[in-house]
Amino acid sequence: MGNVINFAHRGSSKICPENTMAAFKKGLEQGATGIETDVQLSKDGRMVLIHDETLDRTTSGTGWVKDHTLEELKHLDAGSKFDPVFQGEQIPLLDELLELTKESGTIINIELKNGTVMYEGLEEKVIELVRAYHMSERVIISSFNHYSLSYCKKLAPEIRTGILYMEGLYEPWEYAKTLQADALHAYHRAVLPEFVAKAKSSGKAYHPFTVNDCEEMERLLQAGVDGIITDYPDRLAALLAAKV
């Protein structure tokens, strides 16, 4: 169990405001060995970490992320809606997360948010930055946009990719071969032990999302998954520690 990646989903997002530096740091403190985050582009083409395509739910701003410059986005409060104690937390850049983790060995799962908004050049920008930080071997690029994943693999065969999907994908390990993808980022209820075994025999890893219940974590660990994406990295860390 020691090699199972403990991905903090948007950081420790039940303790801190999601996709903020506070959440990423807390996740690492709680034992996460991986960080999952979401990347979009500002109006001036900067890679910002935020899940929703709009600002309203998690920040003091309104409207689309794509319609605001980095300077405008950096002036928003990304913490107070979660808890006033986090007032002043900003929307981070991907650069900031890579800088935080470059020396730690942490695996970074970068989800490209390019399904609703088709950000031109997002793949190239992410890959260029990952290479600049010499972190290609520690990054997994994931997306629900599988055309984008295929494109990423052509641009950077050395960077792992993970197919995001919900239930019902038939023999996903075979489908992954068509994209040259390395991992299956499946909704956790779509993961069965026999699926994990077949994926492993095909050289594909399973990293199910978003798993917050300890019994479900235990089920997936027994099934042999290679990583778990969770809002509670402390819970998963405790389970993994008990198995050492």
Which residues are part of the catalytic machinery?
9, 51
Question: Angle at the Cα of 231 (from 2 to 207), degrees rounded to 5?
Answer: 50
In order of 32, 46, 123, 170, the CA distances from 79 in angstroms are 21, 20, 28, 40
Tokens of 215: 């019994």
Decide: helix, strand or coil at residue 183: strand
- Per-residue H/E/C for 146-173: HHHHHHHHHHCCCCEEEEEECCCCCCHH
The CA distance from 229 to 192, in Å, is 16
The CA distance from 93 to 183, in Å, is 25
